[in-house]
Chain A
Amino acid sequence: MSILQPVLQVLTSAAFWQVVVGGLMLGAVYALFSSGLTLIWGMMNVVNFAHGDFVMLGMYTAVVVWTALGGGPWASVPIAAIAIATLGVISYFLLVRHILRGPMLAQILGTFGLALFLRYGALWAFGANFKTLPDDLVGHSFVLAGLRFEGARVLAGTMGLVVTILLHVILTRTSVGSRMLAVSEDETAAQLMGIRPQRMQALAWALAGASTGIAGALIAMFFYTSPTVGETLAIVAFVTVALGGFGSVLGALVAGMLIGLVESLSAFLIGPVWKDVIVYVLFVLVLWLRPQGLMGKT
């Protein structure tokens, strides 16, 4: 009885549920920007070390759309999607295509070099100062069932869910998707069936880039933008993808929400520094006990 009481107290406090909801919404965003990473990883076994910087450029796209055109998310999200999709395709043709057949080391080398180039290119182009978008770009916060919801986060979380599920549907239920999966399973067989592998791979990079760009544009609504923000986000993405299972977009969704939840709860119940420790320990445990992640292929 005595243990149950404080537990019940926590479970019924408004703060607790606020943390839970906040964590889930955050997690949906994590899922969104990790889905691009897991798609590429699953499809062609490439770890994109520049992933965080793709997100960063999506964020800067939103900032530029705001400062140059005065546009909010309804403008910046599609523009960022197109911009980063293009970046993805260019990266594929200029770099990734050539290191696919090489040793894993070359992939790490190549994408890391790309990351540096993009990160410091952003520093050169946009300067070092932090940029933030105005608060009220997406409407104000509202209260529902005693919990506060902030417009930008709700939008980001909802779109995170929608886009991730959309991506999953494209991959698993459309003919384009099955062609992409065919290429990832067996390139030769796919070729023999008339599918052009390079085209499919480029498309994968376009899709991954688009979802990453959307994620960036949405995050920019409530997070600060700077050239080095990609570093922080990249680690979160890696953990999410590893936990969810390399190649599984749905896994990234589940994992993202889980990580968002665990992070928020441990920060609230234990202490903020320890939230990082807990997430990394979780990460190591998953890699050790179930390396294919929650929903990866066995």
Chain B
Amino acid sequence: MKRGHLAWAAVLVLVLAYPVIFLDSPVYQRMGALVLLAAIGASAWNIVGGYAGQVSVGHAVFFGIGAYASVTGFAHFELPPIAGAPVGMALSVGLAALIGVPTLRLSGHYFSMATIAVGELVRVLSSTSDWLGGAQGLGGPAMPRSVMDLSFLTALPYYYIFLAVLAALLGLTWWMERSRMGFYLRAIKDSERAARSLGVSAGRYKLYAYMLSAAFTSLAGSLYLCITGFVDPESGFGILISVKMLVMAALGGAGQLFGPLVGALILVPLEELSNSLLGGKGAGITFMVYGAIIVIVARFLPSGLLSLFAPKPRVAAPQSKPPQSTPPQSTPVSGHAD
């Protein structure tokens, strides 16, 4: 017991002291901040994609809304970008309700496809709006006007801000896990039909998860705008953003509290370091490695890396059972969850 506590304490100290340990390496400080930002996005996705089992491949919609809300607040109203964050979150929750009601009825692949379509639709539409900067995008404050602009030279302040947000998000998720909602979501994820038959209003809880997830994804987008200072339709709403959130959560372990963080801890440094080491030659080896690692994890650890540490279920005495004929998560071909 004590050793476990000591280990956790050591990890906590390490996490808190990380930017100070790397005080003379802005690159590593930034990498830490980027890991945390990615973890926020992936953890937000995890709420609806991991816990509720609704695999959204269009979450960039909310990310982009958060980023654009922040940047338009600056570009059109001279507000500090962070002021746009609550606006973005409100808009995202509203949009999630709007999209969620019709699409959450769909099951499995159909829901995923619908989220892709909506995501692409929003991306194309955003490039036609001059107020959003059109295809050129919009830039945040070129030089910080005050601390509130959150435009810092080193990544150290970002690290702590992102850490605080991530801690809050994970805390909220942890509480949700143990709450009634978490219980219902697990039931829905396991078998929606069974859950409904037991009186769980699946539609309502899926929608709550979706809206909560949207809010924090939007916050991640606003924070992204603060550290990067620019957004355009591709970097705000691009499908790669949606997929990266998903991949990080899945790699670490979807539906697990720390899954997304583990995924981010692996994929973000991987991307940054391999680009730094190999990118200059321009051969794209960075992403070949990235892709290969994802394939290997999917192949050998389909439930994510954290499943390596999950307690192994007790094996019952062998019985003569016919082999499973269909995978447990097969999608009813009708397309509707029933």
Q: Which of A's residues lie within 8 Å of B, judged by CB?
A: 41, 45, 47, 94-95, 98-110, 112-121, 123-124, 128, 186-189, 227, 235, 238-239, 242, 246-247, 273, 276-277, 280-281, 283-284, 287-288, 291-292, 296-298
Inter-chain contact A292/B287, CB cutoff 8 Å? no
Contacts of A283 in B (CB 8 A): 113, 117
Which positions 283-336 of chain B face chain A at CB distance < 8 Å? 283-288, 290-300, 302-303, 322-327, 329-331, 333-336
Contacts of A108 in B (CB 8 A): 55, 57, 112, 246, 250
Contacts of A47 in B (CB 8 A): 109, 112
Inter-chain contact A113/B112, CB cutoff 8 Å? no
Inter-chain contact B333/A292, CB cutoff 8 Å? yes
Inter-chain contact B302/A45, CB cutoff 8 Å? no
Inter-chain contact B114/A284, CB cutoff 8 Å? yes
Choose one: A120, A273, A287, A298; the contact of B285 (CB below 8 Å): A120
Inter-chain contact A187/B335, CB cutoff 8 Å? no
Which positions 99-154 of chain B face chain A at CB distance < 8 Å? 102-103, 106, 108-110, 112-114, 116-118, 120-121, 124-125, 127-128
B contact residues, total (Cβ < 8 Å): 60
The 4 A-B pairs with the shortest beta carbon distances in the complex, nearest first, are A291-B335, A113-B294, A116-B291, A110-B298
Inter-chain contact A106/B324, CB cutoff 8 Å? no
- Contact A284/B325 with A104-B109, A106-B302, A124-B288 known, Cβ cut-off 8 Å: no
Inter-chain contact B109/A103, CB cutoff 8 Å? no
Closest-by-CB residue of A relative to B122 is A280
Q: Is B34 an interface residue (CB 8 A)?
A: no
Closest chain-B Cβ to A226's Cβ sits at a distance in Å of: 12
Q: Is the contact region of chain A dominated by helix, strand, or loop, or is it mixed?
A: helix
Inter-chain contact A104/B329, CB cutoff 8 Å? yes
Inter-chain contact A287/B110, CB cutoff 8 Å? yes
Inter-chain contact B124/A242, CB cutoff 8 Å? no
Q: Is B49 an interface residue (CB 8 A)?
A: yes
Closest chain-A Cβ to B95's Cβ sits at a distance in Å of: 14
Inter-chain contact B302/A99, CB cutoff 8 Å? yes
- Contact A287/B246 with A106-B298, A116-B288, A120-B288 known, Cβ cut-off 8 Å: no
CA distance A49 to B246 in the complex (A): 13
Contacts of A297 in B (CB 8 A): 333
Closest chain-B Cβ to A143's Cβ sits at a distance in Å of: 35
Closest chain-A Cβ to B335's Cβ sits at a distance in Å of: 3
Known interface pairs A102-B303, A187-B325, A280-B124; 10 further A-B residue pairs with C-beta atoms within 8 A, sorted by A's residue number: A105-B302, A106-B298, A113-B295, A113-B298, A117-B295, A124-B283, A242-B110, A277-B125, A287-B110, A287-B117
